[in-house]
Structure 1
Amino acid sequence: MVEPQWFAGVARVEANPADCGPGLLGGGANMCVMATTTVRGLPLPARLTSLIERGLWQHPGDAVLAEVVPWFEDPLAFVRNPEQMMYASMSLDMFADDPYSDYFRVGRGSRSDAPLDLPWLDADQAVLIAITRNPGDDGALALDYRTDPDDPRVVGTDFWTDDTDLCRWRVVAPAFSAFAGRLGL
């Protein structure tokens, strides 16, 4: 059995071979590879974990993304692994804790009198999975765990279709599994 690995809030937990079953990646007859990976204390969806482990979590091309996220004007880069997701998602904390968080519409449900919902993103319930390629563009796609902890919806920033010039978060797909399917992953 491989020892668990830890990196800045990312936990990689190895499965007990007796627990191997549907949804777990087989690592041979005597072991399962990754059972659960968490980023910011949130479990990555099994399908995303599987794609990462098999090297298949890769950008499908700008044309494919333009069909899935038609309002998004800036080119995106996929955040390739849990460690990079943790690092990229630190920006959510910065935006949520900033006095100007209204611009990015990132807050913390734990500090709010009312539940945060779209067009706001709850920094405590989100992990970034794609960010803009060009520094300063500030766009992203995120897993939004407010809907389902096992298969969270995917949301994206929208700076382009609202006359207020404020960011708003919009649904890209109702679940990560649907998002991956639309990308052909």
Structure 2
Amino acid sequence: MTPSLVRGLALPDRLMALIDSGRWRHPGDVVLAEVIPWFASPLDFLSTPEAMEWESGSMDVLADNTYFREARGSTAPVPLELPWLDVEQAVLIAVNRIPGDDVALALDYRSDPADPCVVGTDFWTDPRVCQWRLVAPAFPAFAASLGL
């Protein structure tokens, strides 16, 4: 399988297998709430690498935004760690279903370039600022937790 690149980052093999087989689909709000209990807004899964590329472009607009806690690692004075997201090392895989909610799930390649972790926005713990939180330590674990 040829790796599919989004923002210059190779999508995990498991994600590409799910996309290619048509099984990369939202599992339902109830299942997602069990896996990500703090997440209070509905999401839409991005079904193609092209959609991931398009939606991930929004991170460039929000880079260096302290409210959204998104920054460019290459220009940060110190290495970025959660609750910050390095937009140069991330790909959005799910985004807000309701326009204006500005919520997302992302692959975070800082953990492992070949098997990135999955992180999600958290606006509910402290509504004054977004925190990016760990959802799963690697994409295969996330897919398994959703029953995909």
Matching residue's letter, 1:77: D
Distance in 2 (alpha carbons) for counterparts of 1:156 and 1:78: 13
Matching residue's letter, 1:44: L
Q: In the alignment, what sits opposite 2:32?
A: 65
If the length of structure 2 is used for normalisation, what is the TM-score? 0.98
Q: In the alignment, what sits opposite 2:131?
A: 168
Q: In the alignment, what sits opposite 1:181?
A: 144
Q: In the alignment, what sits opposite 1:142?
A: 106
Matching residue's letter, 1:178: A
Matching residue's letter, 1:79: L
Q: In the alignment, what sits opposite 1:105?
A: 69
If the length of structure 1 is used for normalisation, what is the TM-score? 0.79
Distance in 2 (alpha carbons) for counterparts of 1:48 and 1:150: 12
* 2:53 corresponds to 1:86: yes
Q: Which runs of 5+ in 2 are unaligned?
A: none
- Higher relative contact order by CA 8 Å / sep ≥ 6: 1 or 2? 2
Q: Which runs of 5+ in 1 are unaligned?
A: 1-33
* 2:95 corresponds to 1:131: yes
Residue 150 of structure 1 deviates from its aligned partner by 1.1
Identical aligned residues as a percent: 64
Distance in 1 (alpha carbons) for counterparts of 2:147 and 2:115: 17
* 2:41 corresponds to 1:74: yes
1:28-81 Cα offsets, whole Å, 9 max, x none, are xxxxxx321010000000000000001110000000000111101100100110
* 2:121 corresponds to 1:157: yes
- The runs of at least 4 consecutive aligned structure 1 residues that moved more than 6 Å come to none
Distance in 1 (alpha carbons) for counterparts of 2:6 and 2:93: 11
Residue aligned with 2:67, SS: helix
RMSD: 0.8
Distance in 1 (alpha carbons) for counterparts of 2:101 and 2:110: 25
Distance in 2 (alpha carbons) for counterparts of 1:157 and 1:113: 23
Q: In the alignment, what sits opposite 2:86?
A: 122
Distance in 2 (alpha carbons) for counterparts of 1:165 and 1:159: 8
1:130-185 Cα offsets, whole Å, 9 max, x none, are 001000000000000000111100000000012x5100100000000100000011
